[in-house]
Structures are given as C-alpha cells and as structure tokens.
Structure 1
Amino acid sequence: MSYIRLNKHYIHLPYVFLGAVEFLLLLGAAWAARIWYLQLNSLAPLWTESWAPEFLFAVVLSFCTLSMGIYPALVREGYSSMVLRTLVSFFLLASLALFALAVFTPEGFLPQGVVFWGVIFSTALVLLTRAVFLKLVDTKELKRRVIIYGAGSRAQQLLDNLAPEKDVIGVQVIGCIPGEQETPVVDQALIMPVPKDWLGFVKAHRISEIVVSPDERRQREGGGFPLNELIDCKLAGVSSSDALAFCERELCKVDISLLKPSWMLFSDGFKYSKRRSIAKRLFDVGLASIFFLMLWPFMLLTAAAILLESGRPVLYFQERVGLNGRTFRIYKFRSMCQNAEKEGKAVWAQKNDSRVTRVGAFIRNTRLDELPQLYNVLKGDMSFVGPRPERPEFVRDLAEQIPFYEMRHKVKPGLMGWAQLKYSYGASVDDARNKLQYDLYYTKNHSFLMDMLIMIQTVEIVLLGKGVH
C-alpha cells in the first residue's frame, strides 16, 4: 500500500516520507544557522537552549512548502518548476512569516541573522533532497502496477481519468482484461487475454492492484466473474478495488459517471458530526474576526479605488444557494462595470471578460473582491472552506443536466474549496460537471484536517492568480 488515510483523506506515502525527512532537515538547518550566526557574532553557543525556535522555523517552512503545492509539482511539473516554487515559498512566504513572528516572540528568540542563514541552508538541503526524491519516484519500479478487469466504456472512462496529463502519481496501468461477453472499446494495445491462472498472472507481471470495472453489472454479481480467483489474489497480497473507490483514492474526486445512489448511502462518508459542526463554526468566527482586524485597511483602499474609477456602488450582492438549498445574499466588491447584466439575466463569467474594469481585474487576481464575504462567514451563511455557492438560476439548470448536482448543498458553502484547488474556473456545464466531482469528494470526506490543507494550498492559487476570469 503506497498511501495512508487520515480523517478520510488519502495521502500518498512518498509525500509523507519526503515531508518527514525534510522536516528533520529543516530542524538541522535552523540549528546550523544558529551556530553559524553565533560564531559570526563571536557569541558562545548556548547549549542549554530549547529547540523551540528551530521547531517553529521548521513548522513555518513546512507549511509554506504545502501552500505552494511543491510536492505535487515536483513529480508533475519537474525539477525547474519545483525550484521556482521553493524560492517563492522560502524566500518570500517563509521569510515574511518568520520576521512577522519575531515581532510577537521574545527578543532574541528568532534573530534576523538566524532566519536569513536558516533559509539559505534550508534551500540548499531541500533542493538536494528533492533531486534525489525525483530520481526515485520517476522510476517504474516504485510505481504501483495496476491491471483493470474490464475493457468497455467504464474502463475507458477510468483510463481517461488516469491519463498522463492528470494529477496522478505512482500508478502505472499495465493493461485491461475484458469481462465475459464484453465488447472492448479501450486501445487494443492495452487488451490482455483472460488469465487461466490469475495468481500466476499477477505474480509474473508484478501486479499491485486489480481494479474491477466491467460494463456489465452481472459480471460483478456472478456468471463469468472470477470471484474465487480475485479472492486468491487478495489473500496473496494483491488487493482488488472498485473503479469508483480507486478513482476517489488516486484523483481525490468522485467520478459521477461511475456513481450509484446506493454507494453514497452505504459508503463510509457523508456523515454529520455535531461536535465537528460546532468546532468548525467557532473556527470560522474566530478566523473571520482576525482577518477583519488585519485586512480592513486593504478593504478601505479597494473601496476607494472602485469609487474613483467607476463610482458607486462599491459593493454588489447576488443571491446564492447555500446549505440544504436555502438561498442567501452574498457580498463582493464590484469588479465589473455598472449594469453588467443589463437584462437581469445571469451570465457565466468568461475568460478576459470585457465587463471587468481595470481595478476589477486587479482585485480579482488578488482575491480582494472576495473580502466582503467575511461578513457572510460571520453571519453563518458560509464557512471558510466548502463548495463555492452558485446562483439559483445556474443551480436549476445544472441540476437538470448533471446527476447528483444538488448533493453539493449538503454542506455549507465556503470562501475556498477543494474544487477550486483541483479545477480551473468554471464557466460552462462541462466545467460544473467536473467541479462537482471534487465537491462531492469534499462533501463525503470533509474534516478539519482537510479544511486546513485546503486553506494552506489556497495560498498558491492566490499568489499565482490561478482560476481567475
């Protein structure tokens, strides 16, 4: 098994291993920076000091690493992209965070010299470590070799999800074995004959997992389905999984083309916890209050810029669909020209939308236009993390065209969400369908850990201006 599950969210073990090793390296870099700083200033090392400064240093740099999506980019985009993200993460985000923390910690707890040399040493160490890691995870021997039982449309859909351009790490599909009376539609090069000896077959091809995805349901309930053979493989250490569960684990989304209503009802997700609901509400109120205190100068400057460029109103509101389908009024800073929807009809926002003003383009790129929604969080209409709320007009149309669309309203909408991290800006029915798959994953598996992960990784979205139309 190359993954673990924390609070119902799957995390691949290579990430866990690399993160643990880097955390220890960051501790060592901070310690070395302190010794180097003391020697440069002719100060005697204080060996009785606690490791609290080093630990804080390592925690901040680890969070900044997660916020810039460095681990996925390392495998998906290559070494050069990872280097650029690392420099932004350490020299910009981490340095600013550590210098800010120095203001609130005792004098001498985090000297600027220690921070400076710590960042230098950390950058050198982690770049070297990630270069070694990239060499390892890029070898086929470390990838899980998967065989698909099925070669029809369901198998093709799974292959489309696992295409090389998708965000999949550590999986190599060896081939597809057609089910009995199944017409193959996958690439002929992937089709493999039905094994006479399944156990010998998986051992010979070093198969790690069998994904069961035939088109004909009866194949999975009896008849020609190789139940005994798959049980033998399972007892020998080769696991079997359903295509939907495999897709959820590897892609962190729920494929609605494979989804059955009974699966949602009997799965281990889609659960309500009163304790978690209360804790999340307290967290939302506390964090929204802190952001209001920190960001009110930027809100005033944004309002003044809009007023000077295009006049009133500075704010605008729309009706959106929230928890359990209830509508509420959402607030934003106005980023479009006045009367952008002259006929009063809801219109999808498009890339390079001509209705967006110059100030509007800036506040959209920096997400300043979203700040008034802190009021919606304090009021209780929204949370910090959850599916982005849509307009009622769009919801009615999308619910008619996309199965299970209204399931996204079983949790409170949020300022940021899993779909925003995993998919670009939605401006069509197809985009809404793809985003729904990530919203369903969040609805099924949401937890405090996942909320924190989403908030940390949203930093990358804001800094790189992703998903802005």
Structure 2
Amino acid sequence: MLRRNQRFLTQMYVLTDLAVMLGLFLAAYWIKFQSGLLVSYITVPFKTYLVWSTVYAFAAVLIGFYTSFYAPKRRKKFSRDVLNLLQVQSLSFLLLLSLLFITKDVHISREFLALFFAMNLIGLVVYRFTVKRMLTVLRRRGLNKRYVLILGAGSVGRSFHDQLQLYPDLGYEAYGFLDDFQDEHDSVVQKRYNGRPLAPIVGRLDELETLLRENPTIDEVIIALPLDAHSKYGDLIKTCEKAGVKTLIIPDYFDLLPAKPFFDNFAGVPLINIRDVPLDEMGNRIAKRTFDIAFSLAALIVLSPVMLLIALGIKLTSPGPIMFRQERVGLNRRSFQMLKFRSMRVSTDADASQTWTVENDPRRTRFGTFLRSTSLDELPQFINVLLGEMSVVGPRPERPFFVDQFREEIPRYMVKHHIRPGITGWAQTNGLRGDTSIDERIRHDIFYIENWSFFFDIRIIFKTVLKGLIHKNAY
C-alpha cells in the first residue's frame, strides 16, 4: 500500500509540475508579448515558443527523476526541496540554452527566456510550499497517516516513540511495540507522554511475520533493539522484506552519531563515519582557502584607513604596542599566535592567559572598550587568515589553558579543531559570545562543521555584518 500511494503521489507531482510550468509559460508569454508592459517585437511564432517551453518542462521532469527530486519528501525539510528545485530548474535551463545554440534558433527572445525561468522558480516554490502546508494541516488532523511498528520497547524504542510524538506534522503514528520482555516493559509503556498514551506492546518478536500479514496498514518497521540482540537482525529484516515493508534500524549507540551519519567504504567494507566533515574533501578545502585569501586581501585593503586610525587611537590613549598577540589552539590542535588590536593596559600578570575578560574589566582602556564592543579589535586576524592559521568563518579559537579544561568537561569539544578557526562563526552570529554557554557554542560549531557550504559561509558573513559586530556580550 505504501508503494502504491507513493507512486500515485509521484505521478501527481509530475503532472502538476508540468501543468504549472505550462501555465507559467503562458503567463510569461502574455507579459512579454501581449501585456504591453515590456517592449517586444514578435519575430518567432507562438508555436515555436510553445515547443521549446514543452522541451524545457519535460527536461525538468527527467532531470528531477535523475536527481531524486521526486523521491519521498515526508521526512525532508522544505529548504532541501527548494535547493533541489533550484538545481533541477538551472540544469534544465542550461540544457535549453544548449539546444537553442545547437539548432541555431537565435531569434527566441532572451528576455522571455529569463522571465520564464524566474517565474518557474518562484511559481514552483510557492506551489510546493502550499502543498507542503496543506499536507501538514491534514496530517495534524489525523489524515494521510503512516503507521510504524517499533521492534523493542526498551530505552531506544521508547525514545524514538517520544520523539515521534513531538512531530505530528510528519504524519507518522506508532502502531505499537513488539518485545520479548513484555512483562518487564509493560508498566513503562503504559505511562503517558505529554498527556498522550504510549502505543501498547502488541506481541513478541517471533510474531512479526503474522502481524505484518494480518495488518497491511503497517507501512514501516523500526528496529530499536539493544546490541545484545544483534543476532536477531538478519531474520527480522528478511521477514520485513518478505512482507514488502520498509525497514529502518536505530543503532543502540545512536546518541554517539551525528545528525546526518555518513556511510563510507573501506577495503570493500561499509563503515559508519562518525564525523563527516565536508572540508575533508580537497575541492572544498581549495574553494574555502581561495575565498579566505581573496576576502582577507580585499578586507585589509578596504579597511586599511580604519585600521590606521585605530592604531593611532591606541597610541594616543595608552602606552604600549599597537598589536596584542595571544596563543590560541587551531587546526589539528596546533597552537598559533592570534593577532588583535590591543584593548587593555600592558600587564605583567603571568596568569592573564588563564582568566576571562569580564564585563567592566578594569584592565581595558577607554578606547579599548570601544574596540571590543564593536569587534574592531579583531581586524588584524585577517593577517592570520592570509598566513593560513585562521579562516574568515569557523569556530572561534580558544587559549590552551581553557582548551585543556573544556576537553574534559564539555563532550565533543575537541571536534571544533577539525577545521581552521574563524574570525566569525555560526555560534557568534547566534549571540553566543562572551559569557555564554560553552555547550551551546560547541553545538553550533559542530553543526557548522557538519553542514559547511560556500553559501553557508556567505550567510554567516552577511549576518555578522548586519547584526554581529556590536553585541552586549562583546567585552
């Protein structure tokens, strides 16, 4: 039943996409040639435009199948759908331009093509968003449900069930549990979660085949058994596949895995990569490093008058050097000297590297207070970027004393050293600066490391410029 429903939905998506693109073609043609809004001269008949637009629409559908655009989307975020849509439409548009070049059909209006492409992007995004919202409303009302059977009523199975209760918009509902220790788990399963009863234990594991045969409403089976039940996995999966039911496994060590585990292959053996880092790929590293160098050179050139005024202000307001160097821990746990404009009085305190800067810190100069509150003291770090010690965007580096302390106290703290530290980062643009939670900072840093992309960096830079320079915790 699940596969039939999915095939029907896929067919509906394909037909609706074609209809929407045809409607948008007619709208674009009217705006360009008949509305009078744009200057136009019809040198190519309507039939030619219709043929090429049909080619574009069918190309988009074929590319969509090839790129898994029409794969089930119930568990995917809408932002991922938008990204896939942009990829499909861009590839289809490039294919159309290539065919026009090959056939030497040069009289097609370029303005019309640009208008048609833009309207396709906007129209399809709006249409997909509307469909997703409608499905969400229906699922919250109990319609379009999918039922899952959970194998294992222990801590892993109950945890999954609890999480499922928190996302009713996904349209999943637990049919029940199968467990060989029913008496042991029954009392726990009967507890209520947020006012809603937990699904019951409906049988033992050896009743799986009978249950799937007698209950075709079960769409998916979730195996949530402990590690010591590993020997049962093979037979359970065979039973599910025999019944034509999709099977998913929650490993007993799922809390050690990242949000999006990556499966690797080593010597022909599949492996779970605990920490998939996009910047481990050479192409991504080269792209990020090239951007860092170009951006830092441009920033130093453009900001050189500001930096000169800052240097003059430091000299006029307090004795001592203009620059302040401090040891920080960077890529691969290696130390480097991070540069800053000096914002404090020169100190001989040997323990300065082991103390936090606090609000109204008496060590700061008046001009230094201004520099720190506006983050202008960080500008010399573009030199660290050019030297390859830092990146424009990345987790903020910390002093060795605190690294040694946090590595023992904060889980996964050292993961941040898999990539170069940054002048700004995802944590900082979300308000995690100064005296804020280290746990939250690391959570944001790991999210950035696992989800890095060039456009993510651009987003963080824009966010930093727009609202990240002045912050109440920057002292």
CA deviations on 1:120-158 (whole Å, 9 max, x unpaired) are: 997677445523332234543667655544444445655
* 2:460 alignment counterpart: 458
Residues 416 and 455, structure 1, Cα contact 8 Å, conserved in 2: no
CA distance in 2 between counterparts of 1:136 and 1:318 reads 54
* Residues 433/359 of structure 1: CA separation in 2 closer, same or farther (3 Å cut): closer
For 1:303, the aligned partner's letter is M
* Residues 157/273 of structure 1: CA separation in 2 closer, same or farther (3 Å cut): closer
Residue 208 of structure 1 aligns to a residue whose secondary structure is strand
Residues 137 and 169, structure 2, Cα contact 8 Å, conserved in 1: no
CA distance in 2 between counterparts of 1:414 and 1:428 reads 19
CA distance in 2 between counterparts of 1:139 and 1:307 reads 62
Higher gyration radius (CA): 2
Q: Which of these residues, 392, 395, 398, is aligned with residue 406 of structure 2?
A: 398
CA deviations on 1:19-70 (whole Å, 9 max, x unpaired) are: x99x979x9699669827994453425769999xx9xxxxxxxxxxxxxxxx
Q: Which of these residues, 296, 300, 303, is aligned with residue 299 of structure 1?
A: 303
So what's the TM-score if we normalise by structure 1?
0.55
CA deviations on 1:147-173 (whole Å, 9 max, x unpaired) are: 5444444456556777749xx984746
For 1:267, the aligned partner's letter is I
Give 1:240-259 correspondences, 5 Å limit. Answer: 240-243=248-251, 251-252=259-260
CA distance in 1 between counterparts of 2:35 and 2:211 reads 62
CA deviations on 1:79-98 (whole Å, 9 max, x unpaired) are: xxx9xxxxxxxxxxxxxxxx
For 1:452, the aligned partner's letter is F
Residues 147 and 177, structure 1, Cα contact 8 Å, conserved in 2: yes
Residues 151 and 177, structure 1, Cα contact 8 Å, conserved in 2: yes
CA distance in 2 between counterparts of 1:36 and 1:288 reads 46
For 2:437, the aligned partner's letter is S
* Residues 40/174 of structure 1: CA separation in 2 closer, same or farther (3 Å cut): same
* Residues 401/45 of structure 1: CA separation in 2 closer, same or farther (3 Å cut): farther
Name stretches of at least 5 consecutive residues in structure 2 with no aligned partner. Answer: 3-9, 57-75, 83-108, 263-269, 362-367
Residue 218 of structure 2 aligns to a residue whose secondary structure is coil
Query: How big is the alpha-carbon RMSD for the aligned residues of Structure 1 and Structure 2?
Result: 5.9
CA distance in 2 between counterparts of 1:157 and 1:348 reads 39
1:198 Cα deviation after fit? 2.5
Q: Which of these residues, 199, 205, 208, is aligned with residue 220 of structure 2?
A: 208
* 1:438 alignment counterpart: 447
For 2:296, the aligned partner's letter is F
* Residues 227/360 of structure 1: CA separation in 2 closer, same or farther (3 Å cut): same
* Residues 275/419 of structure 1: CA separation in 2 closer, same or farther (3 Å cut): closer
* 1:192 alignment counterpart: 200
- Aligned pair count reads 369
* 2:272 alignment counterpart: 267
Residues 384 and 416, structure 1, Cα contact 8 Å, conserved in 2: yes
CA distance in 2 between counterparts of 1:213 and 1:348 reads 46
Give 1:95-110 correspondences, 5 Å limit. Answer: none
CA distance in 1 between counterparts of 2:178 and 2:428 reads 36
1:393 Cα deviation after fit? 2.3
1:176 Cα deviation after fit? 6.7
* Residues 376/115 of structure 1: CA separation in 2 closer, same or farther (3 Å cut): farther
* 1:44 alignment counterpart: 41
For 1:438, the aligned partner's letter is F
Residue 177 of structure 1 aligns to a residue whose secondary structure is strand
* Residues 411/437 of structure 1: CA separation in 2 closer, same or farther (3 Å cut): closer
Residues 32 and 38, structure 2, Cα contact 8 Å, conserved in 1: no
* 1:288 alignment counterpart: 292
So what's the TM-score if we normalise by structure 2?
0.54
* 1:233 alignment counterpart: 240
Residues 382 and 412, structure 1, Cα contact 8 Å, conserved in 2: yes
1:273 Cα deviation after fit? 11
CA distance in 1 between counterparts of 2:146 and 2:431 reads 28
CA distance in 2 between counterparts of 1:131 and 1:74 reads 14
1:212 Cα deviation after fit? 1.6
Give 1:82-93 correspondences, 5 Å limit. Answer: none
Name stretches of at least 5 consecutive residues in structure 1 with no aligned partner. Answer: 3-12, 55-70, 76-81, 83-108, 255-264
**Identity across matched positions, percent:** 23
CA deviations on 1:246-293 (whole Å, 9 max, x unpaired) are: 779994479xxxxxxxxxx9424668999943x445323421233235
Residue 200 of structure 2 aligns to a residue whose secondary structure is coil
CA distance in 1 between counterparts of 2:113 and 2:379 reads 35
Residue 398 of structure 2 aligns to a residue whose secondary structure is coil
Residues 316 and 331, structure 1, Cα contact 8 Å, conserved in 2: yes
* 2:336 alignment counterpart: 328
CA distance in 1 between counterparts of 2:200 and 2:121 reads 48
CA distance in 2 between counterparts of 1:178 and 1:171 reads 21
Give 1:67-146 correspondences, 5 Å limit. Answer: 126-127=125-126, 129-140=128-139, 145-146=147-148
CA distance in 2 between counterparts of 1:245 and 1:139 reads 34
Residues 212 and 242, structure 1, Cα contact 8 Å, conserved in 2: yes
Residue 453 of structure 2 aligns to a residue whose secondary structure is helix
Residue 330 of structure 1 aligns to a residue whose secondary structure is strand
Residue 245 of structure 2 aligns to a residue whose secondary structure is coil
Residue 425 of structure 1 aligns to a residue whose secondary structure is coil
CA deviations on 1:322-355 (whole Å, 9 max, x unpaired) are: 2322112234567x776899862556689xx666
Bigger RCO of structures 1 and 2 (CA < 8 A, at least 6 apart): 1
